[in-house]
Structure 1
Amino acid sequence: MSEVAVRMRLLQQSFDAFDESAAARLGLNRTDLRCLDLILAKDPMAAGELTTAAKLSPAATTTAIDRLERAGFVTRSRDAANRRRVLVAATEAARAAEREVYGPLGEAGTSALRRYGEEQLAVIIDFLETARRVQEEQTARLKKLPVRE
């Protein structure tokens, strides 16, 4: 089991390193990259939804949207059904950046997974879902603890 924990830690570090490189490539900080990823996944996205999904304050969300807009990755518009609601949409530049940065990663991952059979893939999927659930539970646990000073 300790070898699995070590490999998970190394995997997390590789994700962090990739995200850092992706953010640098796009001229963004990590928070803005996370926001852009959320917007690309649910395009368009209400600013309030982004605040919740990114776990940011409304002011921090506005600042991130401002930076993404200046970088040419998003546009803002009023929701036609609710004029008080602001929608944030990915631009073609954002989609092109997504293809450039994440396309090759997806292709390499798909290629690497071809060596596994259906039963093995089912175990991998189960493991990943279990790991995600554990991570979310532990994140919630940490949030309940007092902040060290």
Structure 2
Amino acid sequence: MREARVQLSALNHRIGSGVDVRDTDFDCLDLVSVYGPISPGALARLAGVRPATMTGILDRLERGGWIVRDRDAIDRRAVVLRVLPDRNAEVLDLYAGMNARLDQICADYDDAQLELIAGFLQRVQRAAADSAEELGGGRRGAS
């Protein structure tokens, strides 16, 4: 698991660097992509970063054309974040090699085996989220 995490981090770092996005910013962009539209506060909790740090991250992602901050029509103080699909398509293209390799790996398993693997990965994700929460990181993801 540790080696897979290291290799996935290296892949994400190379892809993020290729589109000129810092590692933490890239993580936040991914969280907005998965959980958005999302408030900046909720994103900060998921990412385990302080709200002041989140402001800088969001400023960079917005300047780069990755996200937008949408204001509520009624309560102009309320903001939600959403990704801009055109820029995110650029990132998805960079993952094409990895996605093709994952498709090849998955082709070696039947549906029951894939369900077992998916269940295992969901349990690992939950254990990591619970452990981060215990440490005060507050990072909590959906399964």
TM bracket, shorter-chain basis: 0.7 to 0.9
State the shift of 1:124 in Å.
1.2
Match of 1:97 in 2: 90
Match of 2:42 among 45, 49, 65: 49
Aligned counterparts of 1:95 and 1:70: Cα–Cα separation in 2: 14
Contact 1:22 1:101 in 2 (8 A): yes
Aligned counterparts of 2:4 and 2:93: Cα–Cα separation in 1: 22
Tell me the TM-score normalised to structure 2 length.
Answer: 0.81
Aligned counterparts of 2:52 and 2:61: Cα–Cα separation in 1: 14
1:64 aligns with 2:57: yes
Contact 2:15 2:91 in 1 (8 A): no
Aligned counterparts of 1:122 and 1:89: Cα–Cα separation in 2: 30
Higher radius of gyration, 1 or 2: 1
Gaps of 5+ in 1: 1-7, 145-149
Instruction: Map Cα deviations across residues 46-71 of structure 1 (whole Å, 9 max, x no partner).
Output: 22222222222111111001001111
1:43–1:136 distance in 2 versus 1, CA, 3 Å: closer
Aligned counterparts of 2:2 and 2:36: Cα–Cα separation in 1: 32
Alpha carbon RMSD of aligned pairs, Å? 2.1
1:109 aligns with 2:102: yes
Tell me the TM-score normalised to structure 1 length.
Answer: 0.78
- The structure whose RCO (Cα within 8 Å, separation 6+) is larger is 2
Gaps of 5+ in 2: 138-143
Match of 1:84 in 2: 77
